[in-house]
Amino acid sequence: MANYQIIAATGCPTGIAHTYMAQEALEQAAKRKNVSIKVETHGQIGIENELTPQDIAEADVVIIAADKDVHPERFAGKRIIDVSVSAGIKEADRLIEDALAGKGKVLVSDTDKKEQQVEDSSSGMSIGRSIYKNLMNGVSHMLPFVVAGGVLIAISFAIWGVYSFDPSSDQYNPTAAMLKSVGDASMGMMVPVLSAYIAEGIAKRPGLVVGFVGGLVAMAGGTGFLGGILSGFLGGYLVVALQKGLKFLPKSLDGLKAIFLYPVIGVGIIGVIMSLLADPMNAVNQGMMDFLASFENSNPLILGLIVGCMCAFDMGGPINKAAYVTGTALLAQGNTTFMAGVSAACIAPPLITGFATLFFGKYFEANERNAGLVNFILGSTHITEGAIPFAAKDPVRVLPIMMIGSSIAAILTYMFGVQVPAPHGGFLVLPVVTGKWQWVVAILVGSIIGGLLLGLLQKNRVKKAA
């Protein structure tokens, strides 16, 4: 078996391109320095080129180039250089030079201090990067569920009709109903999986079950996407607190802590917290839905502005959900106009990121450019969550731009009198849309204006940093 002087692990939130670009960049940089390296990748298809215990034991240094959890606890006792996946792509030569120069943080290898080592491995990061990395760990695992569910539901609507899942409808088709139920099941896993892997990023495996159950309670309680994020972070740090608080117990009880104490105490506490939050958040949701319904027949400018801001504010959270549920409720009453604006406002954010990276590509990192291209597909199928990684980096400035683009798309949709009888599906449901070309134009205008604003923001940010 070959011995590797340097070992590395790469991973990005989407796990499609940058994980492998960083792998290739590090391998090429090591080749130029005539250094042996083995790079483990954490992509959407799972772990490839996995590092063995022998690889880790024999390596001199570890390079972690990842924006998600790659299980750094395995490298306890090794010198570690921990950077973002984009640094792995753009600064591979420097990373190899730093590794050879002895740079990096050495973790204590005493197994009795393993928990402390794991905490130390993340303490080297800023608080902001730590939060971003754990959030992206959740988003990375959540995205496949969103894509699979959203596309399957859209296909059922596009082929068999928007009411084909309803046994009481003339459009009813058993295959369409089955396809939609599968899609609903996949979408229903979005919040629990997001919460579970945020907690797993913070507290490793003991955090997984606490975060997952917290996400399920958040989902059942109607606290939505924001509830999932909240339960993930609360669950993760709760388990970390339990690990510290129960250190006084004998080491012989470590197994009992992992299989009994952490999950029972953690799930109990997070379940109570999220249950108590459900009613207040639902009351806020209901209030927003009533507020929105009162604007049903108002001026298109006012209605579009409100709907656009709500849909883009939290992209799947309670505020977005209030607008979406109001749209579906009015849809059931035969109002197909309100939903047209809601759909336009939900489609716009990922398209905004796509146009921004298309028009101002040189100011974005390679992983952001690729994510922007992927977002053209996600936005076209009404999957708003594709824009979250962009918003998470700079929510204070990016979210207002998303709200502007979504509002423009919704206002134009209402002004054109577009009618959309489908609650989901994006451009896949165009055949059933009344005023389809006007709808597409409205969405594109809002998305392009938002894309220009986002691109200019990124351009100014890069120039200031230069």
Residue type, 257: K
Tokens of 172: 């009813």
* Three-state DSSP class for residue 80: strand
Tokens of 238: 């709760």
Q: What is the rounded distance in angstroms from the CA atom of residue 243 to the CA atom of residue 115?
A: 8
**In Å, how far from its chain's centre is CA 445?**
26
Task: Name the residue among 302, 315, 325, 322 with its Cα closest to residue 401.
Answer: 315
**Number of other CB atoms surrounding residue 456 within 10 Å:** 15
Distances (CA, A) of 181 to 131, 150, 176, 381: 34, 11, 9, 17
Q: Is 311 a catalytic residue?
A: no
Pairing of strands 46-48, 37-43: antiparallel
Cα distance from N-terminal residue to C-terminal residue, the chain: 45
Is residue 64 left, alpha or beta, with left meaning phi > 0 and alpha meaning psi from -120 to 50?
beta
Could you say which of 12, 309, 311, 346 is catalytic?
12
* Three-state DSSP class for residue 338: helix
CB-count exposure of residue 437 (10 Å: 0-12, 13-18, 19+): exposed
Q: Look up residue 107 and give its DSSP letter.
A: P
Helices (H), 248-294: 254-256, 262-293
Q: Which residues are catalytic?
A: 12
